[in-house]
Amino acid sequence: IRGNYFCYTRREPVGVCGQIIPWNFPALMAAWKWGPALATGCTVVMKPAEQTPLSCLRMGELALEAGVPEGVINIVPGYGPTAGASLVQHPGVDKIAFTGEHITAQTIMKDASQTLKRLTFELGGKSPNVIFADSDLDAAVAGAEFGLFFNQGQCCCAGSRVFVEESVKEEFVEKLVSRAAERKLGNPFDTSTAQGPQIDQTQLDKILSFIEKGKEAGAACVTGGNRFGDKGYFVEPTVFDNVTDDMPIATHEIFGPVMSILSFKDTDEIIERSNRTFYGLAAAVWTRDVAKAHHYAQSVRAGTVWVNCYDVFDAGAPFGGFKMSGIGRELGEAGLNNYTELKTVTMSLD
């Protein structure tokens, strides 16, 4: 700084952090939220999803046993309109970190405007998974299967729009359908089970309604498409072929085991169509051409791009979305910065 002054900056804890997490990864989401908050010196008031409060409550007990002082981690189970809204509106809460649907985030943003709370959102997606003809097709099939059906399709970054280059689409669909049809559904505690139930009746009904919308729109349901069994909330692994960009199954986040397969002709076309969504959480590209992979990665508007893989995470790599898939990033240094305020101190040396 000019003159006889000493200037420095420091990062300080943002303060009391309200954290609202979803039900699809109840323990992992708590860990993703607690880690940076505690590391930066903040305190936490967490509202777990009403469907899955027990994981978070048990983690709170373990935190006390591990020596975390009372009052540093606070867990408030409840419903969004009551417990969640109270956190957002409370003037003593300095920040809200929310993972969930963009519609809920819009409500949080409105309510938080009264106190100008710091906000970070990790929201949904309709992520494109692009398979070029020059890719290792067997690897791409396996990656597409995992990228969509992992956790019963209940994953914010699920590769639910699978774009396949025209010349290999028929072969890809045949291989993918064979793998999907062989997935074993049942008790998730059975190690041979590949797919367990959906979270609850509401989610089951939502998924089945989208399957019907896909059929009504003219997409070809090439495997699955039904509820599995008459007990529990199981949905067959479902694959739709001949999907177009404007169909509801290609535009809405279903959050279930429903894959849409679309075809494309060239790189410019697939970049434009990949970005034809208000989401921007993740994307993937499968190709042996390194230049093509990098060109796609820099052109698609998504917070995470996988090349010849899917759902590979590193705790040091930031995760979050473009557009309506979120604000801010979790994990890595970027995740720590969300929980600090930056202060400038300037001192006269006279």
**Which residue in 42, 155, 156, 157 is the catalytic one?**
156
**Which residue in 56, 122, 157, 221 is the catalytic one?**
122
Contacts (Cβ under 8 Å, ≥6 apart) of 69: none
Backbone angles phi, psi at 278, to 5 degrees: -85, -5
Write the single-letter amino acid at 105: A
**β-bridge partners, 120:** 97
- Separation between Cα atoms, residue 336 and residue 267, nearest integer Å: 36
On whether the CB atoms of residues 33 and 44 are closer than 8 A, the answer is: yes
Give residue for tokens 């591990």.
66
Q: What is the C-alpha end-to-end distance of the chain, expressed in Å? A: 14
Three-state DSSP state, 180: helix
**β-bridge partners, 13:** 340
Q: Is 145 a catalytic residue?
A: no
On whether the CB atoms of residues 14 and 94 are closer than 8 A, the answer is: yes
Closest CA to 336 of 8, 2, 14, 107: 14
How does strand 238-241 pair with strand 220-223? antiparallel
Q: Is 56 a catalytic residue?
A: no
Other Cβ atoms less than 10 A from the Cβ of 159: the count is 28
**Measured on CA atoms in the order 323, 324, 328, 331, is the torsion positive or negative?**
negative
Closest CA to 26 of 45, 47, 44, 48: 48
Closest CA to 176 of 256, 259, 257: 259
Q: How many Cα neighbours within 13 Å face the side chain of 79?
A: 2
Q: Which residues are catalytic?
A: 122, 156
